[in-house]
Amino acid sequence: MSVPPSHIFLLAALLFAIGAAGFFLRRNVIVVLMCIELMLNAANLTFLAASRMHTLAHGARPDLQGPIFAIFVIVIAAVEAAVGLALVIALYRNKQTVSLDDVADLKD
Amino acid sequence: MQPLLIDLSIAALALLVFVADLLMPSEEKRGLGHLASAGLVLILLLTFVLDMQGDAFGGAYVLDPLALWFKRVFLLAGALAALIALDPAEQAFARRQGEYYLLLLLSLLGMSILSSARELLLIVVSFELMSLPLYVLTAFTKSSKLSGEGALKFYLVGATSLAITLFGLSLVFGATGTTMLPEIAANAGAIRSPLLVLGVLTTLAGLAFKIGAVPFHMWVPDTYEGAATPFVGFLAVAPKAAGFALLVRLYLVAFAPLSVRFQPALLALCVLTLVVGNVLALTQTNIKRLLAYSGIAQIGYMMVGLLAQTGEGVGMLLFYLAAYLFTNVGAFAVVCAVGAASGSDDIRAYRGLSRRNPALALAMLVFLLSLGGIPFVAGFWAKMGIFIAAWHAGLHWLVLLGAGLAVVGVYYYLRIARSLYLDDPEEGAQPITIGAPLRLALIVCGTAVVLIGIWPRPWFDTALDAAKSFLH
């Protein structure tokens, strides 16, 4: 029994929505970073589902563009998380907090 | 000649700076800034001497006149940014100067590749190569609380924008089955999948974050205020230009068959950006925030050129970017000098600048006139060209709206220009002296702004040729 690509698309959309909602609602920077990862992985899942859909449609050869894209995105996400956590550490050293509510010195 | 030569040279220069940074004793690291700046100027000259046009990697990478124009803008912005940073870098972080220039060059490499990319994976990777060093550079003055906060806001928005863009691109890939932009352009018209429309619109939202279009603009003023001034001039120009390079390649070529679907969204973004940018700039009292909102408004004018969806519109967009480069880098260079002398970025610090340093005040006046679009400086022709192109494309009411808001813009720019000359300096204000590198950058920017203003013809012609070779 195989899962049809459309279900995977729906799951990815759901993950993306959870990530986006968390990005706007949560105030802890670490959790916000996790939400961004969730959105990136939703994109990965969509790439894989799309590849699977193309493979099922044409059949001759597996479509590898999606998986390759996903591997690159995983690397990018790791690099981005490294920079993000470095910024959070710099923030914590200056202000002893990781809550976005306390990061509001800059405003109109 | 190899089409990759420009990008390879930038990469080689970055490696050279990296190795030199390791070998140099820390008191001589100022030389790295000279090396980066001179190297970029050399590569810029190379683009005029050699004919390198062509494509590589099966068409995934292309060096056409459009990419060449953008690369020249990036190289010039990078060279000026390195020059302006020379003195402040030595005072603020003498031991880490090498890292600063290395990151600047790597970001520049990302932008340069992005302007040539015609394949989704290459676009995403170069986009990140551009963005990641920018986050680090924004946070570079580690001890400053504002710098850390500005960087965090920039990072969170940038990372989300990447995630949204990627999700959109994954949907586009799902609908079209290819990652090559020319193939997407060829297939897009025949595909009736809702995935494609959804993907195109999601990607637009992600990119709107990146160029700072309203309602995705909140990070721009905070980041500009928090980041070190010598770097803001670069941040205000180069990544925005890169965003437009991507918008042109995606929305005017690859997704062009779908223009009926995304045109309304782009139009709404453009109108909001024009109105909000100009109106919010009116009440600012910090010069960096004022220039940030003015920058948002300028993004709106450039989007008008994009909306025209003609070769003329893109040509005027390219011309606008060149004028915007000299004007904004110059204006931020003045902010840098005044900020270093008076320790404040408040507009009050500009009162009576003409009596503290007449040359600096004259330079600021030229840049403000150009930002305001007063005749016979670069900014006038830039706005004029955009409006004429949009008028020819039938966007009459948008041109009238833009012209009306340009008048609002003149008010807040000239308010500062007036206080440069007519107000008395604050009590105890000393004359301002500026170092040789900053003076050179100001002379280059000021001369270019005036020259383009007096004799815009060759710039117009080159920009139109670059656009028309690409869009018919």
| Interchain contact, A88 vs B135, CB within 8 Å | no
* Domain extent listing, chain B: 262-472
Q: What is the pLDDT of residue B468?
A: 86
DSSP collapsed to 3 states, chain B: CCCCHHHHHHHHHHHHHHHHHHHCCHHHCHHHHHHHHHHHHHHHHHHHHCCCCEEEHHHCEEECHHHHHHHHHHHHHHHHHHHHHHHHHHHHCHHHHHHHHHHHHHHHHHHHHHCCECEHHHHHHHHHHHHHHHHHHHCCCCCCHHHHHHHHHHHHHHHHHHHHHHHHHHHHHHHHCCCEHHHHHHHHCCCCCHHHHHHHHHHHHHHHHHHCCCCCCCHHHHHHHHCCHHHHHHHHHHHHHHHHHHHHHHHHHHCHHHHHHHHHHHHHHHHHHHHHHHHHHCCCCEHHHHHHHHHHHHHHHHHHHHHCCCHHHHHHHHHHHHHHHHHHHHHHHHHHHHHHHHCCCEHHHHCCHHHHCHHHHHHHHHHHHHHHCCCCCHHHHHHHHHHHHHHHCCCHHHHHHHHHHHHHHHHHHHHHHHHHHCCCCCCCCCCCCCCHHHHHHHHHHHHHHHHHHHCCHHHHHHHHHHHHCCCC
In this complex, the residue of A12, A36, A105 whose CB is nearest that of residue B159 is A36
Q: What letters, b where the CB count within 10 A reaches 16 and e where it falls short, cover B386-413? A: bbebbeebebeebbebbeebbebbbebb
Q: How far is A1 from chain B (nearest CA, A)?
A: 23
Average pLDDT over residues B297-322: 95
Q: Report the percentage of chain B scoring pLDDT > 70.
A: 100
Predicted confidence (pLDDT) at residue B85 exceeds the cutoff of 80 = yes
Q: What is the pLDDT of residue A70?
A: 96
Nearest chain A residue to B131 by CA distance is A80
pLDDT tens digits, one per residue of A18-38: 999 999 999 999 999 999 999
In this complex, the residue of B135, B145, B159 whose CB is nearest that of residue A105 is B145
* Report field, pTM of the whole predicted structure over 0.90: yes
Q: What is the pLDDT of residue A1?
A: 58
Q: What is the pLDDT of residue A20?
A: 95
Nearest chain A residue to B120 by CA distance is A69
Predicted confidence (pLDDT) at residue B245 exceeds the cutoff of 70 = yes
B198 inside 8 A of chain A by CB: no
B298 inside 8 A of chain A by CB: no
In this complex, the residue of B151, B177, B179 whose CB is nearest that of residue A87 is B151
Average pLDDT over residues B10-27: 93
B177 inside 8 A of chain A by CB: yes
What is the dotted CATH code of the domain comprising A5-95? Answer: 1.10.287.3510
| Interchain contact, B159 vs A80, CB within 8 Å | yes
Nearest chain A residue to B138 by CA distance is A87
Q: How far apart are CA B366 and CA B364, in angstroms?
A: 5
Average pLDDT over residues B277-299: 94
* Domain extent listing, chain A: 5-95
| Interchain contact, B128 vs A76, CB within 8 Å | yes
Average pLDDT over residues B57-76: 94
| Interchain contact, A40 vs B152, CB within 8 Å | no
Q: How far is B135 from chain A (nearest CA, A)?
A: 8
Chain B residues with beta carbon closer than 8 angstroms to that of A94: 143, 145, 148
Average pLDDT over residues B448-463: 94
Backbone angles phi and psi of A3, in degrees to 5: -80, 125
